[in-house]
Amino acid sequence: MNLQQHKNKIADKGFSVISNVFSEEEIEKISTVIQNIDTSKETFRKSEDLFAIRQFLKEVSEVKDLIFNENLKTIIKEIFGENYFVVKSIYFDKPEKSNWYVAYHQDLTISVDKKINLENFGPWTTKQNQFAVQPPIHILENIFTVRIHLDDTDENNGALKVVPKSHSKGIYRPETIDWNVETENICNVEKGGIMIMKPLLLHGSNRTTNGKRRRVIHIEFSDVELQKELHWSERLK
């Protein structure tokens, strides 16, 4: 793994894909833990076309040691830096029948422990007693997202499509994308690989056409402490 090359690509393009971060055996172990959990909690969302676990690393803590293997710990340290910690984690399972289409968007909110009036923080949303807020842009610019793929993902089963370099253009409204200037990149990721992206990168995904499931663990990292009495609600050391 030439991590400097990936670090440069993330800074320039806003994303990079790294293969073989997890072995077949490690992916099987992670999958087994997920299969055996109690899915009745309110942080779990279950429907015919999506199964999602919010606060994944808190809710399924036994998966932590499997996810943070030596490869991933090295990647975090070398590409992000020494002081990065987890601030959000979600598990998505889009089953074979799922036909989700996700329009282009940026990830503009962070998960926090309460709602308070702070300058430059807002708008706010609340889902299942969880608070999310759009913070000042420098906080968003500092976040790295890691997407761990438990299945092979390509353009036929909803791989992410991205607009390279859009992460460096601030808040970028999808309806203003000028396709004469911008390009689209489909991010194929093999099972056991990861995609690293910046939250401000415009991204979306097409519907699944090949009937194959797509399971992804989404983890966000920051090295910024929030101000005053506001805290990251999912912070892990």
pLDDT at position 36, please? 85
Among candidates 185, 192, 106, which has minimal Cα distance to 148?
A: 192
pLDDT at position 136, please? 96
Residue 164 confidence class, pLDDT cut points 50, 70, 90: very high
Backbone dihedral angles phi then psi of residue 169, each to the nearest 5 degrees: -115, 20
pLDDT at position 68, please? 98
Residue 129 confidence class, pLDDT cut points 50, 70, 90: confident
pLDDT of 76 > 80? The answer is yes
How many CB atoms lie under 10 A from the CB of residue 211? 12
What is the strand order of the sheet 124-127 is part of? 110-112, 130-133, 124-127
Backbone dihedral angles phi then psi of residue 202, each to the nearest 5 degrees: -65, 125
- When pLDDT is averaged across residues 184-202 and rounded to a whole number, the result is 98
- When pLDDT is averaged across residues 39-58 and rounded to a whole number, the result is 75
pLDDT of 101 > 90? The answer is no
Q: Can you give the pTM of this predicted structure?
A: 0.94
- The structural domains of the chain, ordered by start, are 3-222 (2.60.120.620)
pLDDT of 100 > 70? The answer is no
For residues 52 and 55, give the distance between their C-alpha atoms in angstroms, rounded to a whole number: 10
pLDDT at position 43, please? 65
